[in-house]
Chain A
Amino acid sequence: MADLSKKDALVQYAAQIGDNGLIIGHRMSEWCFRAPSIEMEMALMNCALDLIGQARELYSYAAVAEGAGKTEDNFAYLRDEQDFRNALLTEIPNGDWGDTIVRLFFMSAYNKLFYTALGNSKDSELAAVGAKSLKEVTYHLRFSSEWLIRLGDGTKESHARVQNSIDNQWTYTGELFTMTEAETLLLEDGISVDVASLKADWDQIVAQVLTQATLTVPAEGWTQIGSKANGVHTEHFGYILTDMQYMQRRYPGCEW
């Protein structure tokens, strides 16, 4: 296999960060008209809009960096399953309200650390996206933390269910801190974020909020990996693309 060029690494990297935002944003948008109350629905839709907005900026940049005349839409609507490199955590099904909050909390804690670091990237475009996105994900972290505390320190039922959500999703969190070939290559030039180094701070945020929520942090153990490095997804992912890409696949070039 030929060595990955720096240019290809940058395209992959920008697209991969975008994939995280698009996929979790899409998952949250599935709550539209289904959330328990209108305030909760507005909150999820607002967060989803931020995350999909961030993905659009990153895909647009990936398209420019690639220089092949593509647009953000090519990245979202015309790539196949194996081309998406989102973290597995972002694609797992919504489950109940607690599952959705836990997933958003885990991702937002990661995003806050990630975008803080990306704000210092030597790549000025990525640094700009990082600084802008940081403001948004900080808000998501506060929102999801408050809900986690309310559920954990709530009733016996909500406590047990949200602890179960945490235990179920824990195995997907480790992948966030693994480095891809592109990330390692771009780290030499100060472009990418050393995500492995974010784990200790992430653990600290998680421990702090979970303690306040009277919840237990699961023990470190075996971690699910596959999507971020190789595009090997859970069985749920194909259904996301079927839903999201249907119009462009059925009516190529269709516009609103």
Chain B
Amino acid sequence: MVKLMASLDKNFDPARVWSLLEEVKDPEIPVLSIVDLGIAREVNKSEDGQLEIVISPTYSGCPAMYMLEDQIKDTLSRHGFMDPIVTTQLSPAWTTDWMTESGRIKLEAYGIAPPEKTTRNKTVLFGGQKKISCPRCKSDNSEQISEFGSTACKALYRCLDCLEPFDYFKCI
């Protein structure tokens, strides 16, 4: 019986795989792909010619990781990459710095304040609270409602100008 060829041919194009990975969205934040989030780290051809995708989990207990693994396999299989291997890599630990610039823009447009990159607010060094911009009216006049939000990666804030509550993607 002829077995489906799982190995990659010579014309394997990693850029094509990366563009397919853009189709795999975070189930909790469906505007962001695993590439935007920096979860997808590497696209490799293993020694025996199989396609390997390396991913880094955001939080240790993030329940979305298993779903994402299935979605990666499913998306790639539908486009002719049979039986890809998905490898989870813990080190270096995922950081919000890996989120792409376009990911940050999409996140804000979706109503979630993106993680802070740098701050000039020196009070943060002494335990002061960061000023987070409201994704709706862009005011910096906001306050934290809860350090934890609806998922592990978010905190809950409120804008003191437009009075809307909003999610903030925690900086880790």
- Report A's interface with B, CB cutoff 8 A: 39, 42-43, 45-47, 49-54, 56-57, 124-125, 127-129, 131-133, 135-136, 139, 142-143, 146
Interface of B is mostly: loop
Does B60 lie within 8 Å of A136, measured CB to CB? yes
Q: Which residues of B contact A50 (CB under 8 A)?
A: 59-61, 152
CB atoms of A52 and B91 under 8 A apart: no
- Contacts beyond the supplied A43-B146, A53-B59, A139-B147: 5 A-B pairs with Cβ under 8 Å: A42-B148, A49-B63, A50-B152, A53-B61, A139-B170
Instruction: Name the residue of chain A whose CB is nearest to the CB of B63.
Output: A49
> Which secondary structure dominates chain A's binding surface?
helix
Measured between beta carbons, the chain A residues less than 8 angstroms from B59 are 49-50, 53, 136
Chain A nearest CB from B63 CB (Å) reads: 8
Query: How many B residues are at the interface, by size bracket?
Result: 20 to 34
Partner of A57, one of B60, B147, B148: B60
**In angstroms, how far is the closest chain A Cβ from the Cβ of B142?**
16
Within 8 A of A (CB), among B62-93: 62-63, 90-93
**B→A interface (CB under 8 Å):** 57, 59-63, 90-94, 145-150, 152, 156, 170, 172
Compute how far the CA of A129 lies from the CA of B91 in the bound complex, rounded to whole angstroms. 8
Bound Cα distance A49, B92 (Å): 21
Q: Which residues of B contact A57 (CB under 8 A)?
A: 60, 90
Cα of A218 to Cα of B57 in the assembled complex, Å:
40
Known: A43-B147, A135-B172, A143-B148. A56 touches B92 (CB 8 A): no
Question: Least Cβ distance of B145 to chain A in Å?
Answer: 7
A191 to B121, CA, bound (A): 39
Report yes or no: A131 in contact with B156, Cβ–Cβ below 8 A: no
The residue of chain B having its C-beta at the shortest distance from the C-beta of A42 within the complex is B148
List the B side residues contacting A45 at CB < 8 Å: 148
Return the contact of B152 from the options A49, A127, A142, A143 (Cβ within 8 A): A49
Q: A143–B144 Cα gap in the complex (Å)?
A: 13
23 cross-chain CB contacts under 8 A: A39-B145, A39-B146, A39-B148, A42-B146, A43-B147, A47-B148, A49-B62, A50-B59, A50-B60, A51-B61, A52-B61, A57-B60, A124-B91, A127-B91, A128-B90, A128-B91, A128-B93, A131-B93, A133-B60, A135-B93, A139-B147, A142-B147, A146-B147
Which residue of chain A is the closest to B95 with respect to CB atoms? A135
In the bound complex, how far is the Cα of B149 from the Cα of A135, in angstroms?
A: 17
Contacts of B60 in A (CB 8 A): 50, 53-54, 56-57, 132-133, 136
